[in-house]
């Protein structure tokens, strides 16, 4: 069974979200606020194997941070409150200790921020899903911790170091197509970051695919609508076309991490290009 769980909503600059696409084109379907920001969601995914009850959480949103960071994120991203842990409980009845695996598509702050949380009582940051094994691409971790002027602002390095300190929780992988539990595999795509990975779920003859930042919203189905944040946009273009053709042929259920309206849907093609047939509830 799979289920979308949300860590809340935030906003990013519309120009940065759509790269080379001019504003008069993108703003029709993505109206911007007075600071030119567009609303985005933090859609994470829970996957549960009914037989073994192994539970995988894919990405962890922005998470609960200390006052200073919270204030900064409120100002820059209009991020009000992290609600992932309470949504996991309200929707699935699960507590943080019940999560067996966390998969991070990559380690940007809006995908791995909730890996850890700020504990008010102890005044320090701690690992959130403390029984889980966190599956991270080795190259992504190296890129996250490297000092790079272009990418420093995208990572919460102190939070990432806390995960590194919890050696029993961290599993570094450096290959594509690794199966985590039966039917659930990571697919390395690159593009957004050099080691970005997606998650493919196959069960009972059906396939679901979590796109991460390869195709963050339905608007990004258009091949050339690629985020300005992407470090390797031509790799994004190549992987998008490859995966979308396969997704259409095999009728995959797609999960969009940042779309505030359509978290999930099936791909259709008409004369204007790719379309999404929305699905509200996923089982
Ligand atoms: Zn993102």
Query: Mean pLDDT of successive 10-residue segments in the chain (283 residues)?
Result: 96 98 97 98 95 94 96 97 97 96 98 98 97 98 96 96 96 89 96 98 96 97 97 98 96 97 93 87 54
Q: How far apart are CA 256 and CA 44, in angstroms?
A: 9
Q: How far apart are CA 170 and CA 62, in angstroms?
A: 19
CA angle centred on 244, ends 42 and 215, rounded to 5°: 25
Residue 170 domain-assigned? yes
Residue 91 C-alpha to ligand 1 middle, in angstroms?
A: 23
* pLDDT number for residue 280: 67
* pLDDT number for residue 272: 87
Residue 167 domain-assigned? yes
* pLDDT number for residue 242: 96
**Any bridge partners for residue 140, and if so which?**
none
- Give the DSSP H/E element, type plus range, for residue 144: helix 138-145
* pLDDT number for residue 138: 97
**Total domains in the fold of the chain:** 1
Residue 214 domain-assigned? yes
Residue 7 domain-assigned? yes
Residue 92 C-alpha to ligand 1 middle, in angstroms?
A: 24
* pLDDT number for residue 279: 81
Residue 251 domain-assigned? yes
Residue 283 domain-assigned? no
* pLDDT number for residue 281: 58
Q: How far apart are CA 82 and CA 117, in angstroms?
A: 10
Residue written as token pair 């007075």: 34
Residue 52 C-alpha to ligand 1 middle, in angstroms?
A: 31
Residue 231 domain-assigned? yes
Inter-residue contact 257 to 105 (CB < 8 Å): yes
* pLDDT number for residue 282: 56
Residue 68 C-alpha to ligand 1 middle, in angstroms?
A: 21
CATH of the domain at 51: 3.60.15.10
| Segments forming the whole domain that contains residue 89 | 2-278
User: Residue 214: which of 205, 201, 223 has the closest Cα?
Assistant: 223
Residue 106 domain-assigned? yes
């Amino acid at each position: 069974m799979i289920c979308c769980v949300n860590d809340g909503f935030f906003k990013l600059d519309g120009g940065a979200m759509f790269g080379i696409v001019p504003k008069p084109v993108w703003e029709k379907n993505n109206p911007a606020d007075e600071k030119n920001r567009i609303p985005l969601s933090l859609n994470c995914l829970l996957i549960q194997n009914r037989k073994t009850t192994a539970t995988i959480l894919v990405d962890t949103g922005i998470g609960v941070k200390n006052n200073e960071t919270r204030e900064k994120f409120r100002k820059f991203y209009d991020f009000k409150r992290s609600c992932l842990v309470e949504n996991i409980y309200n929707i699935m009845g699960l507590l943080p200790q019940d999560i067996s695996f966390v998969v991070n598509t990559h380690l940007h702050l809006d995908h791995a921020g909730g890996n850890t949380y700020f504990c008010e009582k102890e005044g320090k940051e701690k690992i959130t899903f403390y029984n889980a094994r966190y599956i991270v691409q080795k190259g992504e971790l190296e890129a996250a911790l490297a000092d790079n002027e272009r990418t420093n602002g995208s990572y919460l390095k102190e939070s990432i170091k806390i995960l590194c300190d919890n050696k029993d929780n961290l599993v570094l992988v450096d290959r594509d197509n690794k199966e985590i539990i039966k039917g659930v595999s990571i697919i390395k795509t690159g593009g957004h970051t050099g080691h970005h990975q997606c998650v493919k779920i196959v069960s009972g003859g059906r396939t679901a695919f979590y796109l991460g930042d390869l195709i963050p919203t339905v608007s990004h189905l258009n091949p050339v609508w690629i985020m300005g944040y992407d470090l390797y946009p031509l790799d994004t273009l190549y992987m998008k076309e490859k995966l979308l053709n396969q997704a259409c042929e095999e009728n995959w259920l797609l999960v969009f991490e940042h779309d505030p309206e359509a978290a999930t849907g099936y791909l259709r093609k008409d004369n204007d290009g790719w379309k999404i047939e929305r699905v509200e509830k996923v089982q």
